[in-house]
Structure 1
Amino acid sequence: MFMGEYKHNIDTKGRIIVPAKFRTDLGDSFVITRGLDQCLFAYPMEEWRVIENKLKKLPLTKKDARAFTRFFFSGAVECEVDKQGRINIPASLRKYAVLDKACAVIGVSNRVEFWSETNWNTYVEESEDSFAEIAENMMDIDF
């Protein structure tokens, strides 16, 4: 399980350190792709296969299913951690998530998310104001 929040800088070549606590569970090779809320999602290979199998079962006749699958898979790349504990994030993914310098790397249960620090701070500020309401709504789905 991934949890915690870490601050790291992305360099001009698109390299960022993956926190040591995350590297063990992500493995030497993992998948990173466009996520929701303008961040990137990173999944260990085993978890990626589970998601891939679920998405394969979506009906091809549903427009939203096709759109989500295209969005999710077209941005996906396999990353390998170098000897310094860094990965290289492709330019298209850096542009999508606005990763240019200061970044937040967070653990979210079965995945790791990469955020621009500015976007993460904004998201946290906006979410804090409505956290009680969000929690109340979660009770409706048997949380």
Structure 2
Amino acid sequence: MFFGEFEHALDAKGRLIIPAKFRELLGTSFVITRGMDGCIFGYPAERWATLQAQLDDLPLTRKDARAFVRFFYAAAAECELDKQGRVMIPATLRQYAKLEKQCVIVGVSDRFEIWGAEHWQQFETETAANFDDLAENLIDF
């Protein structure tokens, strides 16, 4: 399970260090793609295969399903970590997530997310202000 928040810098070549505890969960190959809220989603190969099956079940006749699947898959990249535990973030994904120098890698259960540090700070501030309301509307502990 992915959890925690880690800050790392994107290098000049577009590589980002993936936290060691996430590397253990990712194995030799994983997938990154466009995520929600302007971040990048990262999936271990096994979880990606499950998600792929779910997306394949969406009706081809639905315009919104075609658009979502097309947009989601178009930016997907199969990745491997280098010997220093870094992943190369493709330019299209760096632009989509507005990644600059400082990035935040966030564990979210079955996936991890990569955020530009400023964007993450904004999201975190807005969400913290509404956290109690979100919990009340979504979860019964």
How does the TM-score come out when normalised to structure 2?
0.97
Number of the residue aligned with 1:127? 127
Deviations 1:27-46 (A, max 9, x none): 12100000000000000000
CA distance in 2, matches of 1:119, 1:55: 28
What is the Cα deviation at residue 137 of structure 1? 1.1
Number of the residue aligned with 2:58? 58
CA distance in 1, matches of 2:27, 2:38: 24
Aligned length: 141
CA distance in 2, matches of 1:57, 1:92: 27
CA distance in 2, matches of 1:71, 1:27: 26
What is the Cα deviation at residue 55 of structure 1? 0.3
1:22-37 matched pairs, under 5 angstroms: 22-37=22-37
Number of the residue aligned with 1:47? 47
Number of the residue aligned with 1:15? 15
What is the Cα deviation at residue 64 of structure 1? 1.2
Percent of aligned positions with the same letter in both sequences? 55
CA distance in 1, matches of 2:105, 2:35: 13
CA distance in 2, matches of 1:8, 1:37: 20
What is the Cα deviation at residue 107 of structure 1? 0.3
CA RMSD of superposed structures (Å): 0.9
Matched to 1:66, the amino acid is R
Tell me, which stretches of 5 or more residues in structure 2 are unaligned?
Answer: none
Tell me, which stretches of 5 or more residues in structure 1 are unaligned?
Answer: none
SS at match of 1:115: strand
Deviations 1:62-112 (A, max 9, x none): 111111101110010001100000010010100000111000001000001
Number of the residue aligned with 1:82? 82
Matched to 2:51, the amino acid is I
How does the TM-score come out when normalised to structure 1?
0.96
Matched to 2:101, the amino acid is K
Matched to 1:86, the amino acid is R
CA distance in 2, matches of 1:61, 1:37: 26
SS at match of 1:122: helix
Matched to 1:103, the amino acid is C
CA distance in 2, matches of 1:67, 1:125: 31
CA distance in 1, matches of 2:68, 2:137: 25
